[in-house]
Amino acid sequence: MSFGRFALKRSLQGIGVVWGVVTVVFALRFVTPGSPINAVAPLDATQETRQAIAAELGLNQPLYVQYGQYVFELLQGDMGRSYIRGQEVTTLVFERLPATIELALAASVVAIVLAIPLGVISATRRNEPVDYGATLVSLGGISTPNFWLGIMLILIFAVEFNIFNTSGRGVDVGDVALSVINAEPFVGTLLTWLAYITLPAIALGTYFMALITRLTRSGMLDELSKGYVQAARAKGLPRTLIRYKHALRNTLIPVITVLGLQLGTLIGGAVITEAVFSWPGLGTLVIESINQRDWPALQGSLIVIGTSFVLVNILVDVVYAYLDPEVVTD
């Protein structure tokens, strides 16, 4: 199978998955207790008023008609209108999406910067104190719930020491970039951005960091025991060259796959972290929509989250196939 056919196959599979996500999200409205009309109608609404609202929202039509119309409008980029806010859901969701992506990327950077060096050091100093320390850190990261970690970080670094902010976004990464162009105080803008994003990024990225640390350590141990490493040592190549150019390079191939998959997971799994830190992203919008029974906003958010996860997975598969051509062979 050629690389192009492989990419096309993964793309078609991704379209099928997205269609499944849309179908499930649409069905959620009809299998959960309560009616969407309750979110719109006044408490003392008469039966005639409720019927008029149902007709206006298209809820009095057969289920297959509602589904077909919903999919048709989605293909045109129309996710409907929020029951509570009165805004177009497409606008509402894509206003929140950059904040979630920014948080997910920041959490990924925190995890990668800490995890890969920690995993390499742990593998190259096996059964030494630093190895035990790295194993303890990774076990703690995997075992600690991110909502509890977020609360502890707020209590210690925001409330007790007043180093970081407790909630909100402040400025975004775009403001930091524009501060260079617009001659604004770059350092001040950067510090403001770090004050808001550091704690949620650590809380969200800790599990990711622990997972990558364990994966890097096990991969390095496996590579260092292979024959080509022994041959390189016999030829007298420097130990640093063997570890970081040859062994680490081969270790990072499966790590890249996990990085991509976890990035998609971070986008979808940021709901709790955003709630703890009042981060104005899609996770916060999902929780608000659930509490308010705002079905169009909830459905739009879930579809965008699911589609983002699928797109990241397709990108990872394509990159992995490019790095390792054996993947695309029949």
Q: What are the DSSP calls for 173-219, one per residue?
A: HHHHHHHHHTT--HHHHHHHHHHHHHHHHHHHHHHHHHHHHHHHHHH
Tens of pLDDT, residue by residue over 140-165, are 888 888 889 999 999 999 888 888 88
- What is the rounded distance in angstroms from the CA atom of residue 208 to the CA atom of residue 227? 31
**Is the model's pLDDT at 75 over the cut of 70?**
yes
**Is the model's pLDDT at 278 over the cut of 80?**
yes
Identify the pLDDT of residue 202.
92
Contacts of 93 (CB under 8 A, 6+ apart): 79, 282, 285, 297, 300, 301, 304
Radius of gyration of the chain (CA): 24
Of 76, 101, 80, the C-alpha closest to 25 is 80
- What is the rounded distance in angstroms from the CA atom of residue 148 to the CA atom of residue 156? 12
Identify the pLDDT of residue 19.
92
121: in domain:
yes
Q: What single DSSP character describes residue 154?
A: I
As a whole number, mean pLDDT of residues 305-317 equals 85
As a whole number, mean pLDDT of residues 86-115 equals 89
**Is the model's pLDDT at 58 over the cut of 80?**
no
List the structure tokens of 163: 């180093």
As a whole number, mean pLDDT of residues 62-76 equals 88
13: in domain:
no
**Is the model's pLDDT at 330 over the cut of 60?**
no
35: in domain:
no
Residue with tokens 């096309």: 8
Identify the pLDDT of residue 189.
83
As a whole number, mean pLDDT of residues 323-330 equals 65
Identify the pLDDT of residue 20.
92
Q: Is 81 helix (H, G, I), strand (E, B) or coil?
A: strand
Range of the domain at 128: 89-328
As a whole number, mean pLDDT of residues 121-130 equals 86
As a whole number, mean pLDDT of residues 273-277 equals 89
**Is the model's pLDDT at 25 over the cut of 60?**
yes
Of 195, 209, 189, 206, the C-alpha closest to 277 is 195
- What is the rounded distance in angstroms from the CA atom of residue 17 to the CA atom of residue 325? 25
Dihedral, 85, 89, 94, 97 alpha carbons, nearest 10: 70
Tens of pLDDT, residue by residue over 217-263, are 888 888 888 888 788 888 887 877 877 777 888 787 777 777 777 77
- What is the rounded distance in angstroms from the CA atom of residue 287 to the CA atom of residue 274? 10
Contacts of 110 (CB under 8 A, 6+ apart): 201, 202, 205, 209
Identify the pLDDT of residue 305.
87
User: CA 142: distance to chain centroid?
Assistant: 17
pTM of the model: 0.83
As a whole number, mean pLDDT of residues 212-220 equals 88
Identify the pLDDT of residue 155.
92
Considering the chain, what is the average pLDDT of its residues? 83
List the structure tokens of 121: 């050091």
Q: Is 88 helix (H, G, I), strand (E, B) or coil?
A: strand
23: in domain:
no
The percent of residues above 90 in pLDDT, for the chain, comes to 11
27: in domain:
no
The total of structural domains in the chain comes to 1
Q: Phi and psi at residue 186, in whole multiples of 5°? A: -60, -45
282: in domain:
yes
48: in domain:
no
38: in domain:
no
The percent of residues above 70 in pLDDT, for the chain, comes to 95
CATH code: domain of residue 234: 1.10.3720.10
Identify the pLDDT of residue 201.
92
Tens of pLDDT, residue by residue over 149-208, are 999 999 999 888 888 888 888 787 777 777 777 756 877 888 888 889 999 999 998 988
List, in sequence order, every residue forming a beta bridge with 81; answer none if it has no partner: 88
Report H helices in the chain: 3-31, 37-40, 47-57, 63-75, 89-124, 129-143, 146-153, 173-181, 186-224, 227-234, 239-241, 248-269, 271-277, 282-292, 295-323
Dihedral, 90, 94, 97, 102 alpha carbons, nearest 10: 170
Contacts of 206 (CB under 8 A, 6+ apart): 111, 141, 144, 146, 149
As a whole number, mean pLDDT of residues 296-321 equals 85
Identify the pLDDT of residue 184.
64
